[in-house]
Amino acid sequence: MGGIVVVGSIHMDFICYIRKLPLPGETLQSYKTEIKPGGKGANQAVAAALSGGKVTLVGAVGNDLYSRDIVSGIKNHQVNIDRILRKDNDTGMAFIAVDESGQNSIVLSEGANGCLTVEDLKGLPELFEPSSVLLVQNEIPWACTRFALQAAKQRGIVTYVNPTPALVIDEDVFPLIDVMILNESEADCLTKVPVRLDKDLINIQQAASQIIALGVKEVIITLGEKGSYYMNNQEEAIFTPAYSVHAVDTTAAGDTFIGSFIVARQQGLGVGDALQQASAASAIAVSRTGAQESIPSADEIADFLSEYNKQKPV
């Protein structure tokens, strides 16, 4: 199995647990506050590593006190940190409010993530092996993301894109993307189709078809507690219901899904089985608090699926 190269963001998360998300102008009291490592790039790298992947994270942290703890935590999860740069800036931060249902609201401060440059990525191609994959998001400068995708495609590397936060993507970039994994709101933004789960899946199918028509080979729209919808450019489609668990914090659920799915595919699992594994991983993650510390290991995912299959009616 080749390596997984993640080019993306690294944050320190400031998490406030509250009874309900605030209304505009409303001040609420947090009943618990935590400071934990996060960032979509780092979270997805950790998720892939814990699922059994060989992962290198390419990104940037600042010169503040947070950077040491963040990088040390990522390394402890068996992620290669040799390509994490230090910038003369603050480390990126995420301010997260989590309500009693596990839903969250996030405000980002890019910090050192915004200082990453194309010049910093000039050595990126040397990380690619023939069976490697590239994973990127939208929490670093767009020029860096675009460069990474172009470099990967020039080497014939499979590319995964998680377009969050949702941005307008240049049309010539879509053919560089092999697999796009995005949530409902991001699909809304890209396609202008109101993605909602109904019994006929019509809106979801329409949104996925539009993304495929732009040149993406495969698309997965994650639907939170409802599951996920997969479509490829051969018009094959799979709806995967989510596992029913008690959610306490949805932070990093999507990141966990993505990391686990990529590793499952690299290990040779079919799309359907990989979606089941990714769904199990995210189900475990939402039943725990925090970002990286909520992400399950490969053994935990296997145990979850084994227990579920035992209980499933024949």
Tens digit of each residue's pLDDT, the chain (314 residues): 679 999 999 999 999 999 999 899 999 999 999 898 999 999 999 999 999 999 999 999 999 999 999 999 999 999 999 999 999 999 999 898 989 888 888 888 999 999 999 999 999 999 998 889 999 999 999 999 999 999 999 999 999 999 988 888 889 999 999 999 999 989 998 898 887 766 668 889 999 999 999 999 999 999 988 999 999 999 899 999 999 898 888 888 999 999 999 999 999 999 999 999 999 999 999 999 878 989 999 999 999 999 888 776 65
Residue 13 annotated as binding?
A: yes
Whole-number Å distance between alpha carbons of 11 and 13: 6
Domain segments of the chain: what residues?
Answer: 4-21+31-119+131-299
Identify which of 212, 243, 248, 247 has the alpha carbon closest to the alpha carbon of residue 230.
212
Q: What is the pTM of this model?
A: 0.93
Task: Supply the DSSP symbol for 114.
Answer: G
Q: How many CA atoms lie within 13 A of 73 on its CB side?
A: 23
Residue 77 annotated as binding?
A: no
Residue 12 annotated as binding?
A: yes
Please identify every residue annotated as catalytic: 255
Task: Supply the DSSP symbol for 282.
Answer: H
CATH superfamily of 4-21+31-119+131-299: Ribokinase (3.40.1190.20)
Residue 164 annotated as binding?
A: no
